[in-house]
Structure 1
């Protein structure tokens, strides 16, 4: 298994936990909204995963604290791709 596959599995596991626990609730709201817009399960998880990856990158690469507000703003903006900063 390649590193990217392992990383995707871990991100999808985090998303699964967020959906199960409704924490943050915006993950489930976004998931349901994107599914209603016609995206399949994998596409939806992948888009949410991109939002999560932005946060994980800053934490792991730069030692910055997790930015839950930016994560939620990026979720709300989907299917628009997430950015490091929401303006």
Structure 2
């Protein structure tokens, strides 16, 4: 999927993540942010990593018509800062 074909952009993803943090839903997002910043990552970079994990679920919803998979999103968040799904795209 190219940048033009994506149903969202980075700013929209970051806004969604910020909303998830403000709503504390899912809790795993706030936990992930805390974990990443405690490891020395700055907040903006941590938010970008979380947005990357979120994008996987949004792509699946759009491309396959599947409901948002909260469990898989949590699993991707747990992998951060590693992003093994990026290896699949190389």
- Sort the TM-score into its range (normalised by shorter chain): 0.7 to 0.9
Structure 1 contact 51–82 (Cα < 8 Å) conserved: no
Question: Aligned residue for 1:56?
Answer: 58
Question: Aligned residue for 1:11?
Answer: 13
SS at structure 1 position matched to 2:60: helix
Q: How many residues align?
A: 81
Instruction: Give the 4+ runs in structure 1 shifted more than 2 A.
Output: none
TM-score with structure 2 setting the length: 0.81
Instruction: Write the distance in 1 (CA, Å) between the matches of 2:32 and 2:44.
Output: 14
Q: 1:25 aligns with which of 13, 24, 27?
A: 27
Instruction: Write the distance in 2 (CA, Å) between the matches of 1:74 and 1:82.
Output: 9
Question: Aligned residue for 1:44?
Answer: 46
In the alignment, structure 2 segments of 5+ residues that lack a partner are 86-90
Instruction: Write the distance in 2 (CA, Å) between the matches of 1:67 and 1:82.
Output: 18
Instruction: Write the distance in 1 (CA, Å) between the matches of 2:50 and 2:22.
Output: 14
Structural RMSD (CA):
1.8
In the alignment, structure 1 segments of 5+ residues that lack a partner are none
Q: 1:60 Cα shift? A: 0.9
Q: 1:13 Cα shift? A: 0.7
